[in-house]
Amino acid sequence: MRYKIFIYAIIISLISQTCKEEKTVEFKEISKTTNTNTLVEINIPEASGNDDISKAINHSIEQHIIASLNVKDANNHLPKTIEESIDVFNNEYTTFKNDFSDSVLSWEAQIDGEVMYQSPDIISMAITTYLNTGGAHGNLSISFLNFNAQTGKQLKNEDLLEDHLAFIEIAKTYFDEEIADKKELYFEPENFKLPENIGFSEEGVILLYNTYEIAPYSSGITEIQIPWQDLQTSLNYL
């Protein structure tokens, strides 16, 4: 009886592994532009290899890019494609120049994406966005997008954590070490909170705080690396 159970376990394991292999997606870098574009440069990963998973991932990336290029605060009327967003951004600059013809300020947008980590269970990518719409300085931000590699569904930060409290305790230790000699640069260094962006790399987990999230613009981005070996029981995807 035990022998049969052992055989069944092997068969189930092989079937599971085969399913994961069948659902593997690949990525290539693509560029997006339009015939009238002069201000926007976009280079992002595009998924292929499994239609359903790839479509889900590419849709999430596209929606993120569209939202990033939105300068009109018209969330209910966002463009439907990246190309439309590019044209809207260019048109908004033309309107700006018509309204402020004496202004010497120029607009630009640069969006770059890369896959940071990919396993049979999770895909983690970073989207770096730089926008300059005529202010004192441009705005640089990095967003981590995490996906279930078996479905293509975009994951929330809470989906990544198996033991939320244990993860926070570990993260706070690394955070305190990172800012130990520069606490005066942060808004509330004693009031630790997880960042909006949690991602994965080959070395472990990345905590990324964008400008203004926990410190003023002059402090820039705060990035903290936590090795895999310190996270054995706190993550769902390991």
Predicted confidence (pLDDT) at residue 70 exceeds the cutoff of 50: yes
CATH level 2 (architecture), domain 23-155: 2-Layer Sandwich (3.30)
How many helices (H) and strands (E) in the chain?
5, 9
- In one letter, which amino acid is 135? G
Q: What is the pLDDT of residues 8-39, one digit of tens each?
A: 444 445 444 544 455 589 999 999 999 999 99
Query: What pLDDT is recorded for position 6?
Result: 47
Average pLDDT of span 158-167: 94
Query: What pLDDT is recorded for position 135?
Result: 77
Q: Say which residue, 103 or 148, is predicted with more confidence.
A: 148
CATH number for the region 160-238 comes to 3.90.640.20
Predicted confidence (pLDDT) at residue 72 exceeds the cutoff of 90: no
Token pair of 35 as six digits: 């015939």
CA 177, 179, 183, 186 torsion-angle sign: negative
Average pLDDT of span 68-96: 89
Average pLDDT of span 73-87: 86
Long-range (24+ apart) CB contacts under 8 A made by 161-170 are 161/234, 161/235, 161/236, 162/233, 162/234, 162/235, 162/236, 163/233, 163/234, 164/234, 166/233, 166/234, 167/194, 167/231, 167/234, 167/235, 168/192, 168/194, 170/226, 170/230, 170/231, 170/234
Query: What pLDDT is recorded for position 73?
Result: 67
**191 φ, ψ (degrees, to nearest 5):** -105, 80
| Residue position matching structure tokens 């939105």 | 70
Average pLDDT of span 141-165: 96
- Kindly report the length of the chain: 238
- Residues paired with residue 118 on neighbouring β-strands, in sequence order: 123
Edge-first strand listing for the sheet containing 139-148 = 26-32, 40-48, 107-118, 122-133, 139-148, 154-155
* Closest alpha carbon to 36 in 80, 83, 96, 95: 83
- Residues paired with residue 139 on neighbouring β-strands, in sequence order: 131
Query: What pLDDT is recorded for position 183?
Result: 92
Sequence ranges of the domains in the chain: 23-155, 160-238
Predicted confidence (pLDDT) at residue 238 exceeds the cutoff of 80: no
Query: What pLDDT is recorded for position 2?
Result: 47
Query: What pLDDT is recorded for position 9?
Result: 47
| Residue position matching structure tokens 């954590």 | 161
Number of Cβ atoms within 10 Å of the Cβ of 185: 15
| pLDDT tier, 5 (very low <50, low <70, confident <90, very high otherwise) | very low
Q: What is the pLDDT of residues 195-218, one digit of tens each?
A: 999 999 999 999 999 999 999 988
Average pLDDT of span 210-238: 90
* Structure letter (DSSP) for residue 227: E
Share of the chain above pLDDT 90, in %: 76
| Residue position matching structure tokens 């991602």 | 199
Predicted confidence (pLDDT) at residue 232 exceeds the cutoff of 80: no
Measure the CA–CA gap between 164 and 171, rounded to whole angstroms.
10
Query: What pLDDT is recorded for position 74?
Result: 58
Query: What pLDDT is recorded for position 39?
Result: 98
- Mean pLDDT over the full length of the chain: 89
